[in-house]
Structure 1
Amino acid sequence: MGFIYNIGIRTAHFGLKCAAVFNEKIKKGVIGRQDTFKVLENALHPNDKTLWFHCASLGEYEQGLPVFKELRAHYKQHKIVLSFFSPSGFEIRKNSPIADVVVYLPLDSKRNAKKFIDIVNPELSIFVKYDIWPNFLNELKKRSLRAILISAAFRKNQSYFKFYGAELRRALFTFEHIFTQNDTSKTLLQSINYNNVTVSGDTRFDRVSSQLELDNSLDFIETFKDNKLCVVAGSTWPEGDSLLINYINSCYHEDVKFIIAPHNIKSSQINSFQDKLNTESVLYSTRHDTQLTNAQVFIIDTIGILTKVYNYADIAYVGGAMGHTGLHNTLEPAVFGVPIIIGSNHGKFPEAKAMIDLNGMFSISNQKEFDHILNELIENKQKRLASGRNNSDYIKKNKGAVVQILDYLRI
C-alpha cells in the first residue's frame, strides 16, 4: 500500500505541473514549493530549536491560531515554522506574526519528507484538522519527534476507516495524541484501535471568542450604517449574490442597510454586482469619494476586515451553502450574537446543524424562503434578538479546546 501511495504522490506531482499551465492558483503552489527548501535553509540554523505548525489552508490556520499563539508565547527561544498546502492559506498568511518562517509544504514524497525534517527538526509538530501526510509523519516518528493532531473531525466514509486505507491509518498512529471536535470522531478512531484521543471540541470557538477582546470598530462602517438596521452578507458566491440583488432591488424596508463581502473580489464580478443594483452603492475602495450615509449598499472589495464588519450586523447571511463550494465561517458572526441565514448544502458542518436546532440559524433553498426569513428577522425584533443570543450562547458553551490541548502539553 505504501508503494501505491508513493506512486500516487509522483503522479500528483506531474498532474499539478500540468494543471499549473491553466490554473493560476495551482501555479502559485507549484512555484512556491520549488522554493521551500531554500527558504528554510536561509531561515534556520542547525542549532535552532524549532516548532512546526502545519495547516492545509486559511481555515485551518484560523482554527489552530489560538493554540499557535500560546505556543509562540511560551517557546520564546524557539523558531516557528508554519507550512501550508494551499495557496489560499500561504498567500494571505505568509507574513504571519506567529511564525519565523512560512513555507509551502512540499509534496509528500519520502525524499521531500526526509529533507524537510533534516532542516526543520521540530521538537513538536502540530497538525490541524485533517491534512495528514504519511511520509512526513512517518519521518517524525522514526526520529522520535513529537506530533499531535488538533481539532480533528472524522467521518465514517473516509479512507482511514476503509479496507483500502491502511497507509493513512498507519499515519494516524504516528500522532502521540489526537484531539477531536466531537464524540463521533473519537468513536471512529477507537474502532481502528487508536485510543490516545481526547474530545476537546473545536478550537475555532476559542478563536472567534478572542475576537470580542479586540477593537472591532470601523469608523467608515459606523458612518455608513448610520444607526440603521444592517444586514451583512459575508463570503458570498454568485448563487447567493442573485438572492441578495433581487431582495435589495425589491426591498420595501427603506431604513435597512446592506454590507456585501464577496468571496471573489475580482473587479469584473464586483462591477457586475454593483451594476445590477437599483439603489445607491459604495465600494470599500472608493469610500473616501462618496457620502456614505446616502448609500444603501456597501460592497467590501478587499480582504481581512469581514470579522470586524460582523460587529455591525443585525442579521447575517453567510455564503457557500447555496452552491457546492462549502459553507464559510458561521462562527464569526455568531460570536457577535447575530442571527444567521445560510443555504441548504451544509451537511458537513456540524456547527450549522447545531445553530439551526437552536433557532439561531436559518437554512433556505430559494428566493422565496430567503425573502421570507429575512423579512421576518427585520420586522420581528424579539425573534431577531433571541436568535442572536442563541448563537452567542452556543459559542460560549463550546469554548475550552485550547485549555485542554495546552494542559496536555503541560503549558
Structure 2
Amino acid sequence: MFSLLYNTSIWLYGAAIRLAAPFHTKARQSAEGQRHLLASIQTRLAGNTAPVAWFHAASLGEFEQGRPVIEAFRERYPGYKILLTFFSPSGYEVRKNYAGADYIFYLPLDMPQNAKQFVGLVKPRIAFFVKYEFWLNYLQELHQRRVPTISFSAIFRPGQVFFKLYGGGYRKLLTYFDHILVQNQQSLDLLKGIGLTNLTLAGDTRFDRVAQIVANKKEIPVAQLFKGNQPLVVIGSAWQADLDVLIPFLNRFDQPLKVIIAPHEIHTDEIERWRGQLRGTSIRYSETQTSGFESASLASSTVLIIDNIGMLSSLYQYGDYAYVGGAFGKGLHNILEAATFGMPLFFGPSYQKFQEAIDLVQEGGAFPVADTAELEATFRRLYQDQAAHQKATEISRQYVLRNIGATGKVMEVIQDYSLID
C-alpha cells in the first residue's frame, strides 16, 4: 500500500508539472528537462567503460553541500566518472556546466520503471544522496543491485514522518542506505531509536565548502570601489518579504552605510520597484559593466543591486554585516557563506530548521528579527558598540572554523566499500 501511494503521488507531481509548464518558468524547465531524459542519458553514457560514482542533490544549496565530497572523491578515485543529478531547475540550470562532474542530468521522476532503467544505464559503483533526498524506487533499485548507497549531511527532526506511528514505509526506506552520516546528535539519536545502526555523526559538509570559498574567493573590484572606507551590509538571497522589512529600516538609518542587495531570483521589474522605494541613490551591477560608465557614480551610490547569479559568496568578503533572506518565507538561505568571513548575521524568524542558525543565535553571532523595528534596534546597537560588533564577528568566524571536517569523515566511511579494483 505504501508503494502504491508513493508512486501515485510521484505520478501526480509529474502531471502537475506538465500542466503548470506553460505558466511557470521552473515548471517549464522541469518538464523540458524530463522530456526524452532517459534516452539522452543512454546516448551520453554509450561507450563509457569507467566506473561511475553517482551524486544526487535536490537543488543548488544541496549541490554546494555535496561539492566538497565530489571534489574529494575525484581526487581520491581519479579513475571514476562522476555523474551528478539534480531534482530542481534552480540547481541544474545554474550548475549544468560544473567542471567537477563528467555527466550532469535532471533526475528522472522516481517511478519504478524510471529507476530501473536509470540505474541500469548508469551502473553506479557507489551512490551518494545529499541531505534530504529519500527516493523510494531509486533506493530500492540500488539496494537490490547491491550498490553501496550513502546519505551524508543528513539531518532529522522528531516531527518528520520517519518517526511517526504511520511512518513504517518511510522507516523501511532508510534501511536501504548502507550508511547515513548525520549533522548532529539529535539526528543520530532519532535514527538509533528506530533501529538503524550504520550511522556516523559527521557534521555538515557545507562548512568545508565555505572554507573553500574563503581560500578561493574572487576579488570583485566593483564591490571594493563601491564600499570604499564605509561600513557595508550585504543583503544576500533576498525576497520581497525581506525587502518589505529592510527598506523602511534602510530609509530611516541616518549613519554612513553602504548596502549591497543580491536577490535570490533576478526579476527586473522587482529590482526597479525596490529602487523606486529606496531613498538612497542606487545602481545595478550590470550598469557598471557598460562602456562609458564612470566610477564616480558607483562611489557616490549608497545601494548596489546585483542583477546576476553567482557572485554572492564572494561578495560577503566585503561585508561588515550580513542579512540573509528567506526566513520571512519558506526558510532561511545559506548563512555560512557570510559567517565564514566573520560578521554579525541578521535574518527573519523562520530559522528553526537550520542547525547552524540555531547555534549562532545561541552563541551570539546571529540575530533573528521579527520586523523592521527589531531589525533597526539590533542593528543600531551593533553599529554603535564596536566591542559588541567585534564579539559577534569573532563568534561567527570561529563557529565555521571549528566545524570543518565532515568531508573527511565521508571519505573515511567509503573506504570500506572496495572502490578500487
Q: Is the TM-score greater than 0.5?
A: yes
TM-score (ref. length: structure 2): 0.94
TM-score (ref. length: structure 1): 0.96
Structure 2 unaligned residues grouped into runs of 5+: none
Q: Which residue of 2 aligns with 1:39?
A: 40
Distance 2:343 2:218 in 1: 15
Q: Which residue of 1 aligns with 2:141?
A: 139
Q: Which residue of 1 aligns with 2:24?
A: 23
Partner of 1:60, secondary structure, is helix
Q: Deviations over 1:47-106 (max 9, x none)?
A: 331110001111110111100111122222222110011111111111111111111111
Decide whether the 8 Å contact of 1:140 with 1:147 is kept in 2.
yes
Q: Which residue of 2 aligns with 1:243?
A: 245
Structure 1 residues 174-323: aligned runs within 5 Å = 174-253=176-255, 255-288=256-289, 289-290=293-294, 291-321=297-327, 323=328
Distance 1:234 1:14 in 2: 34
* Deviation (angstroms), 1:402: 0.8
Distance 1:159 1:38 in 2: 35
Decide whether the 8 Å contact of 1:315 with 1:377 is kept in 2.
no
Q: Does 1:163 align with 2:160?
A: no
Q: Does 1:404 align with 2:406?
A: no
Q: Which residue of 2 aligns with 1:12?
A: 13
Partner of 1:178, secondary structure, is strand
* Deviation (angstroms), 1:46: 5.3
* Deviation (angstroms), 1:349: 1.3
Decide whether the 8 Å contact of 1:216 with 1:311 is kept in 2.
no
Structure 1 residues 51-70: aligned runs within 5 Å = 51-70=53-72
Q: Which residue of 1 aligns with 2:359?
A: 354
Decide whether the 8 Å contact of 1:134 with 1:167 is kept in 2.
no
Partner of 2:180, secondary structure, is strand
Q: Which residue of 1 aligns with 2:344?
A: 339
Q: How many residues get paired? A: 409
Q: Which of 369, 373, 380 is matched with 1:375 structurally? A: 380
Partner of 2:109, secondary structure, is coil
Decide whether the 8 Å contact of 1:5 with 1:167 is kept in 2.
no
Q: Deviations over 1:128-173 (max 9, x none)?
A: 0111111111111111111100001011221222233233222211
Q: Does 1:93 align with 2:95?
A: yes
Distance 1:287 1:385 in 2: 32
Q: Which moved more, 1:145-154 or 1:7-16?
A: 7-16
4+ runs of 1 displaced by more than 6 Å?
none
When the two chains are superposed, the root-mean-square deviation of aligned CA atoms in Å is 1.4
Distance 2:65 2:382 in 1: 30
* Equivalent position amino acid for 2:127 in 1: S
Distance 1:46 1:261 in 2: 41
Percent identity over the alignment is 38
Distance 2:250 2:156 in 1: 40
* Equivalent position amino acid for 2:169 in 1: E
Decide whether the 8 Å contact of 2:241 with 2:329 is kept in 1.
no
